[in-house]
Structure 1
């Protein structure tokens, strides 16, 4: 079975898997406009801080690539001043889709810095556009690279801990959003803290997290759409044989119910976590301590 990717860049298209429909339906959405990119991030059709940043960066790259090939040339390519205003408007708009996402903010600032540096160097319009295109693709490529490094470090740590023979019997790893203490989106099928981390501690099973080192100093809590706490999605039984027809959405709360609390994050205390695997190495919490010493890997 081929691995499922969250973003596809094939045949001149930019597509994302609609994570709102997983796991019962796999649907790829083509992202053509900045409004579609913004909506995908805001409504969590795409989720995970790195993937959010990659989508925003890649969309700008694809947009400018198409613009350079367009005939007639768009007005925002008529001068460096027009291009500057156009790109800055896009970056500001994309940032509003999820201002609490650390990676998205970092990506938009990198792209802004690329624009600013190119203008300061008095580059011509084509060179400026190509520099932004290259930087947008690089941001996404770097995320792929970090994931590969996390996989390498994680695999090595697990093999060292449990041995190759036990590892061959099957191991599960959960990826998370990392900000301060570890947090996972409560849109996941299981809230990690309430169900998984506490259960693993009871069973004395190590809890291992994978997350890159692009972290923020403060986790900003905010509420998300209440309707998501009122619905249950699932596959129909018996199925029709058509994957697109096999998802039902059922309202499980009374209509008109007010005051629903639906926080965006579920924070897991660090003392419930055994090890944190990053793209730079593995941090292990020492026995008796409630925090991690990350100084050796960041």
Structure 2
């Protein structure tokens, strides 16, 4: 396995570029983010996605804007700077309503800015500088947290694994370097197992309708040379039945975790938890503690984003050269323009006039989850208890 990982976020003070994930895996293109509107659009249209990455990009978007506006008279006083930052964070929060990391990051950034603005003699520049320090620290800490999640998750799987040396893992959606500041959460666990030479094979679901698995997770697995196979969402149960002694765990990420452990994640996660329970396979949620929302008691309170119908009824991708299609092979050639660019088209895949329901997430009940892995350690349930004590765990109390 290569030691290199993808860099989805490129940041230096005053400059931010993100890897446009809508073009992956067929085209690698970084786009500059130098305004609040561009940052909001990148998150809303899923040019960047994954709860940790969304929070980081939102924070760094405002950081870039503040550097560009540092000489503006509208930021000259501490109160002016504080108000601009709070209003900007409020706007960026509207880009994706389900990912709690974005709201958590905005809350922490705003709190830090308010405290600085109250300091005696604080200027607008002091407040801006404080924000930049906080946002840049979030970027650094996210990578460290992800590596800890990978380590704790790998240790847990090896501890509970009772199979042969042929250890395989299934994952859903994308939770790697493309979904975070680097390394990844659920994919970080897979990466950690692979680096320790314990992982034999990884399976990733395609994750319809947005295909984050086939476009992004598969891209990362191939990039890092981790032995892997792509399956459709509907094949997971059959795979578990075919390999009853080889699948060590199903590992997924989370966009929001309630106080009782109920978890909102990409649509299709809930059904994986059900089949994991039936086949007696550990179902593991990997997420930073910032994904835990202690303000909601259960998953019933999680707002589920419903996305446009067209995402289900159409597909977009490069045009395939039909002559390049070979039986029993995934390799194909793409048609290109005279300038060498890949030709992409959107095609319809559903009957016209059919109604569509397109929730972006579903909620997996805590009772179906075996463990929740955070950067602080692994959260387990007490014997006979169907829920997790997330508040007690995060506060360091015994549970």
TM-score, normalised by the number of residues in structure 1: 0.82
Name the counterpart of 1:3: 5
Match of 2:333 in 1: 239
* Structure 1 residue 40 displacement after superposition: 1.3
Helix, strand or coil at the partner of 1:179? strand
Q: Is the 8 A contact 1:282 1:297 kept in 2?
A: no
Tell me: CA distance 1:287–1:247, structure 2 relative to 1, closer, same or farther (3 Å): farther
Instruction: Report which stretch shifted further, 233-242 or 210-219.
Output: 233-242
Deviation at 1:159, TM superposition (A): 2.5
- Match of residue 126 from structure 1: 125
Deviations along 1:70-100, whole A, 9 cap, x unmatched?
xxx3232344344334323312211222344
The 2-side partners of 1:22 and 1:284 are apart by 36
Going from structure 1 to structure 2, the CA distance change for 1:96 and 1:17 (only over 3 Å counts) comes to same
1:67 aligns with 2:47: no
Deviation at 1:150, TM superposition (A): 0.8
Moved more, 33-42 or 88-97: 88-97
Matching of residues 114-153 of structure 1 within 5 Å? 114-121=112-119, 122-153=121-152
1:282 aligns with 2:282: no
Task: For 1:284 and 1:126, locate their aligned partners in 2 and report how far apart those are by CA, in whole Å.
Answer: 45
TM-aligned CA distance change 1:231 to 1:135, over 3 Å: same
Are the structure 2 counterparts of residues 11 and 140 from structure 1 closer, same or farther at C-alpha, using a change threshold of 3 Å?
A: closer
Gap runs ≥5 in structure 1:
none
Runs of at least 5 residues in structure 2 that lack an aligned partner in the other structure:
168-197, 203-250, 321-331, 395-399
1:281–1:297 CA contact under 8 A, matched in 2: no
Find 1:19's aligned residue among 4, 21, 41. Answer: 21
RMSD of the TM alignment (CA)? 3.0
Answer with 208-217 or 35-44: which moved more.
Answer: 208-217
Higher mean alpha-carbon deviation, 278-287 vs 130-139, is at 278-287
TM-aligned CA distance change 1:231 to 1:287, over 3 Å: farther
Q: Secondary structure at the match of 1:297?
A: helix
Which SS does the other structure have where 2:289 is aligned? coil
In the superposition, relative to structure 1, how do residues 206 and 22 fare at CA in structure 2: closer, same or farther (>3 Å)? farther
TM-score, scaled relative to structure 2: 0.63
Among candidates 265, 282, 305, match of residue 206 of structure 1? 282
Instruction: Decide which moves more: 8-17 or 269-278.
Output: 8-17
